[in-house]
Structure formats: C-alpha cells, structure tokens
Amino acid sequence: MKRREFIILSGIGATSASLLSACGHPEEKLIPAFIPDDEYVPGIDYWKASTCGMCDAGCGIIVRTREHKANKIEGNPLHPVNRGALCARGQAGLEVLYNPDRIKGPMKRAGERGQGKWEEISWDEGIKTLADKLREVDPDNGKGKACFITGDAEGVTAHVARRFMQAQRQAFVAEQPHGAMEPSGTYADLLSGVVKLGEPIADIANATYLVSFGARFLETWKSPVMYSQAYGEFRSAHGKVRGKFTQIEPRLSLTAANADEWIAASPGAEALVALAMVQVIVREGLNKAPVSADSHQMLEEFSPENISSTIDVPVEKIIRVAREFARAERPLAIGDLRSPDSSAVHLLNAIVENLNKPGGVLLFESGKNSKNPLSIPGNGLILQGESDEHVGKSPAHDGIERISNFVQALQHPYRMLMIHGSNPMFAKRGREDYLAIPFIVSFSSFMDETSEVSDLILPDHTYLERWDLHSSLGPDGRQAFSLTQPVLEPQFNTRQTADVLLAVAREMGGGAFAEAVPFDSAREIVEKAVTELVSLGHGKNLEPVPGEPNEKGVVFVGEPTPVKTETERKPLSLNSFFLRLLRQHASERVASVNYPLTLIVYEHAGFGNGVSANLPSIQELPDPMTSVMWGSWVEINPKTAATMGIADGDFVEVTTTNGSSVRVPALLYPGIRPDCIAMPTGQGHSSYGRYARYRGVDPTALLLNSEETSVQSRLTKVGGKAQLIRFGTDLQQSMEKKPWR
C-alpha cells in the first residue's frame, strides 16, 4: 500500500492568535506527498471566509482552496443574511476569478478610441499618468472638472475615492446599488404622522398571508437568497398554519409560479389594485388603523367597481383577496414598484397595522441598523462618508453627488472621468456625452464596453482577491458587519482600486491628500475598521461572532433597533396629491393603435443587469420558466402570436415609442397577458469577453429611460428562424460560435 501523507484542515479557518493574523496562505508551506498517485490530490483543504461580491445582497461565503487554487464556494452558515445558502450567481464566482478574458495588467490606449489597440504598461507608469492628468484639471473650472463614478456605493473604494476627490475639490458620484431598497420616505409622504421610517425588512417567514405586487423575491428582489429561505419558513406547516401567497403582476414569473394564486393585472396597475384592496378593507370596517373621514371619501375613486376595467381584474376577486388579507392573523404586502406607486403598498400594510410586528414590515432606525454609512469614530474612519447631510447636493457644493443612473452624472461636462464598478456604455445611454470627455480611466477587471473606449485601464482585483467590509441586514433586522478578504494571492498583475488611489495621492505629493486619506492600504482601512468595531462592541447593540473575524467572516451582528411608532392612534390621513398622481401614472400607460403591446423588461435572475453575462455557467443555466440558454427572446402570448402568424422561434422586430428596435426570436409563453410582451435583461454585449460578446440583445435600450421597466411597443414578423437554445433539446451551442444578433 502506498503511503499517503496529507492534511485536511476542517472548519472555516485555523485559529488566529491576533486580529486578522490568519489571512496568509499557510498552504504555501505544505510539504507535498512523497508518493503521489492518481487517486488523490496532495495538499490541504483550507476554507476561507469572505463576502460574496456578485450582487448587493452581501451574503457570507466560505471558499475552499487547495494548492494555491480556489475550487469551491459555499454559503457561510454563520452569516445572518444567507445562513449557509447561496444562489447560482454566488457559486459562479470562481468563473470571475479564473475567467480567461480578465485584463491581466495596466494598459494605455495605443490607437484611436474603440480600435482595440493597447499597450501594456507598468503600474508605476499607470499611476504617474493618472496623477499627471489630475494635475492638469482645474477644480475651479466648472466645465473642466474631474469626476470619479463608482457603482460600488459602499465600502473601501467609495470611502477612499470620496476623500481623494474631496481633497482635490473634484466630483465624486456614487450610483445607487442595483435593486436598492425603496425610498423609506414614501411611507411618510402618504401617511401623515403615522410612523418615523428607517430601513424596511419584509418578515415573510412569520407572515400568514402574503400579497406581492410584482416583487420577484425568489429571483432578483433585494436579497433573493434571504427571502427564499424566509419563503420556505412561510410555507412550512410544521407547528403552524401554512401561509397563503398571492402574486399580482402581468407576467408569470418564477415567484408567481410558486404562488397559490396569480392575478394577471394590467401592466402598471399593481398600485391601483393595492388601493382597491384598501378601499374594500376600509368600507367594510376591516381596517385596524383608524382612517379619517376625508380619506374615506378619497378612496371611493379607487373602489373595485370603479377601476375594475382599468386593472382588468374582476371586482369579486379584488374583494375576496382584500377580505382574506385583512382577516389574516399576520398579513403582509410587498411590492417592486416605482415611487409613488410603492406608497399604495405601504398604505396597505399601515391599514392593517402590521408595522414592526412579527410577519409584517420591520422598520429600523437609520444610522443604527441600515446599509448606509458605517461610521467609526476615534480615528476619523468612515467607510461611506461623513454623513448623509450632503445627499442630493451637486458636485459644485462639496464634490459629492449621489445618482440613480449614469446619465445624470454626464449632465456636468467633465474633462476627466474615472469609472469603477460600472459599465455605462453597455446601456448606450449618453454615449455621445461620454465619448466627448477628453480622458477616461477604467478600473474594470474585464474589457467591457466602457473599457474599450477608455484611455487608461488600471484593472481592479476581483472580490476574491481584495479587502473590504460590508454591512447588511438579516431577515429579522439584525445587522451584520462582514469581512471581504483575499482567499488567495492575486492571479494577475492587478491592484485594488483603493490602493491605486492611495498611490496616486502619494505621487501627487501628500499634503492635503495625506490628511484626507491617512492610510497606506485598503487592508489597513479594513483592519482599523474591524478594530474599532471590536472596541465599540460592548454597549452598542453589537454582539461579536465567536472566533477571529478572518475565520468566521462575520465581525459583529447587531440587535435590531426598531423605530418608534406613534403611541396615540391618530386617524390615517391620506395625501390627495399622491392619490391623484397614482391615478395619472396609471392612465399614462395606455396602448395606442401604433404601439398596442406593453413591453415588460424584467431582470434576469442569472445575468442581473448584465454583469454576469461573461460567466459560462450562467449562460448555460436554463431559464426556469422558458428553459432557454445562451441568448435572448421575447415572450408572446400564443393568442397574440396566432393573430400575427408568429410561431415559436420566428424572428420578430420589437419597436418602442422611443424609436428604438431590436430583432429577437419569438417564444410563445402562455404565462403572459395577451396585451403584453416581455424580455429579460443581461444579454446584448458588444464586448465583455468570449462568453458574452454578440449574444442576444439588450432590451433596456428600448425603454424611455433607465428608471422605467415597461414601454408601449409593437411587433413585426421579419421572417426566418432563430436558434432558441433550450435545455433538454438536441440543439447545442458552442461557446466559441458566434450566435445570431
């Protein structure tokens, strides 16, 4: 028998004597087996805890490494957000790390923009080039400012970039996270004097009756892993009543397919359905919160009898669901609606008084339990900025601006632009303004559409190679401060963007920069933040997770701090302006002769907004409702298709009221209203590597603006058949083959 000598280190990590001291790579000192054979791989299994970076939910992960390679990602069972579970995107994170199309080092443009000619340079040259360009920008010239835009609005990069740009009196812009929480102010806008709002969490697990107004919480809404687990508890009949679930949306999503009842209301009418339910509850005296006499009268306009034809839902069905909701022990309404539409769903919760109650909407005080600024006093370290008092102010005021989309940032004619964690050229909005900027720097790890037209590329580490600290809320409102740390050495000649900015600050001579950013590295920032959290732990509603942070991945878990609701039961006073706005909003979505169909653009569960389209396993992952892989499609109701002579797989042209059009295969889908068509996001890249390039189309270009998710459209059959790659069929797709466009 051959002698086998190897070690398996179980658990999440080795015990560390001091803070973050076990973050090295002890596997590098391993003595390999003397007599290897084909039956096993010599080495150790070393599990390292970190935080997933595939979306904004902030799930905890543990990564298995062996022989200098990471080979498996799992959910961290100690993390309160995902409790050991992980979605397909999270498990595909290794394909980001080992992607063959990663940019392997700094480069500068060698030809005209967009020609794809690049010259490899050293980091010293890249840092000096960026510093020299910044010296040329006059901060007092409003038309010649520099701007740093990041799609990663939280954490170390935003912290360093904000301080760095402030020191130069330049602009810093943070895009709102994709799928961010609804603005809490919508409660206060609609309901006067009822509740002081903080961060909302839907307690799905403890609800007994759930009504969702388009919130696809099993796919993409907020934190799908967290809410999928909560939904499992909601459905469990062990020791409690099994919850009932109703989904209201015009398309049968995966979430709707899991519901007890799917109500296919007219597109954009979800808010009116909620108001009709409120009206029924109030007029039948089923409301638990008192309502003013004036509000009774205002609601009459939204009775089921008055709006049934508008929302295309039978009167008796609205009345039945409203009664079931109001009479349930713990009713809960959630919605993926745009303001002011979201106010109607919030009103539905307030009318049954489920705020800060088990199975209802849990609200927590901003600043104590939220995903907003993680402020660490003592050493001046504030990860996301000094306060929220500057939110919404223009760059001319203090160099700080927060936006919901990239196009808003280009309203200022910048002379120099630095892009991190965002790919604005993919959406193709503001392209001319973007290309007019004299000098553009990209920090992307991949040659995406934005990097292609940049002048300097300083590639960032992937999230499995860098340092960061993330704050997120669990399903019960507990706040987790979780660590992002390198699970192995950088695979290529890349650098963390925060470290690059610190090096540029040193190159520019210190002074104000040294005072503004008094750190040497991103690792130092995280270590100081963790140290401060440890010192603040006692008496601050924080409980340490046993073990060293680097072992467990979670530094602290904070107890919930609910907001205080009014003790005096004042009658709810509805805002007539918002009610009129809701009515107007619904009336604007009217079909015309030229554009009879409503196009619904929905977020793909795997691709998201397109950031995961370069991962082969996500491309290969069948869509759960259509089984399509490796491409795009437009969903058409079979009745609608029959009237137009459209068969499954036929090429059709989708044209919208903004004048844009795309050609895409038709997919006959019974789970959509006959007056609607639908397309998923994520495909349509012209760059972004071999797995994403030239696959499908980008439907967001068909929308009127980046805030909308639907638009009026028409279909035209253009002839020819497309290859719809579906799971379980003989038709295969080669990764290298150029598919239809």
**Residue 41 confidence (pLDDT):** 54
Highest mean pLDDT, choosing among 110-114, 564-568, 706-710: 110-114
Return the higher-pLDDT residue of 25 and 287: 287
CATH topology of domain 107-178+371-460+495-519: Rossmann fold (3.40.50)
**Least confident range of 133-142, 401-410, 454-463, 679-688:** 401-410
Band of the pLDDT at 561, cuts 50, 70, 90?
A: low
**Residue 589 confidence (pLDDT):** 63
Whether 556 shows a pLDDT value over 50: the answer reads yes
In contact, 458 and 90? CB cutoff 8 Å: no
**Least confident range of 184-193, 576-585, 649-658:** 184-193
Whether 546 shows a pLDDT value over 80: the answer reads no
Rounded Cα distance, 409 and 433, in Å: 10
Rounded Cα distance, 455 and 437, in Å: 10
What is the SS3 assignment for 663?
Answer: strand
Q: How many CB atoms lie within 10 A of CB 728?
A: 6
Whether 689 shows a pLDDT value over 90: the answer reads yes
Q: What are phi and psi of 175, to 5 degrees?
A: -70, 145
- What is the mean pLDDT of the segment spanning 547-554? 70
**Least confident range of 3-17, 183-197, 274-288, 666-680:** 3-17
Q: Burial level of 196, CB count in 10 A (0-12/13-18/19+)? A: middle
| DSSP string for 503-518 | HHHHHTTSTHHHHHS-
In contact, 519 and 525? CB cutoff 8 Å: yes
pLDDT digits 0-9 by tens, 117-131:
999 999 999 999 999
Q: What residues does 58 pair with on adjacent strands? A: none
- Which amino acid is present at 110? A
Rounded Cα distance, 355 and 369, in Å: 16
Q: Which class in CATH covers the domain with range 591-721?
A: mainly beta
In contact, 739 and 695? CB cutoff 8 Å: yes
Domain boundaries, the chain: 1-100+479-488+548-556, 107-178+371-460+495-519, 204-364+567-583, 591-721
Please give the structure tokens belonging to residue 507: 């190159």
Band of the pLDDT at 569, cuts 50, 70, 90?
A: low
From the options 2.60.40.10, 3.40.830.10, 2.20.25.90, 3.40.50.2030, give the CATH code of 1-100+479-488+548-556. Answer: 2.20.25.90
- What is the mean pLDDT of the segment spanning 63-80? 91
Band of the pLDDT at 605, cuts 50, 70, 90?
A: very high
Return the higher-pLDDT residue of 652 and 732: 652
**Residue 722 confidence (pLDDT):** 82
Return the higher-pLDDT residue of 620 and 541: 620
Rounded Cα distance, 489 and 512, in Å: 33
Please give the structure tokens belonging to residue 260: 């007890």
Return the higher-pLDDT residue of 723 and 617: 617
Q: How many CB atoms lie within 10 A of CB 515?
A: 11
Which single residue is written with the structure tokens 């553009």?
Answer: 440
**Residue 428 confidence (pLDDT):** 66
Please give the structure tokens belonging to residue 184: 């809490």
CATH of domain 204-364+567-583: 3.40.228.10
Return the higher-pLDDT residue of 406 and 147: 147
- What is the mean pLDDT of the segment spanning 499-526? 85
Rounded Cα distance, 344 and 574, in Å: 10
Return the higher-pLDDT residue of 195 and 663: 663
Q: Burial level of 308, CB count in 10 A (0-12/13-18/19+)? A: middle
Please give the structure tokens belonging to residue 578: 């918002």
How far, CA to CA in Å, does 664 sit from each of 252, 253, 429, 594, 614? Answer: 20, 20, 21, 20, 20
The residue among 139, 147, 261 whose CA lies nearest residue 211 is 261
**Residue 152 confidence (pLDDT):** 80
pLDDT digits 0-9 by tens, 238-271:
777 789 999 999 999 999 999 999 999 999 889 8
Q: What is the rounded average pLDDT for all residues in the chain?
A: 80
Whether 484 shows a pLDDT value over 80: the answer reads yes
Please give the structure tokens belonging to residue 265: 């209301």
In contact, 541 and 550? CB cutoff 8 Å: no
In contact, 219 and 275? CB cutoff 8 Å: no
Band of the pLDDT at 576, cuts 50, 70, 90?
A: low
Band of the pLDDT at 410, cuts 50, 70, 90?
A: low
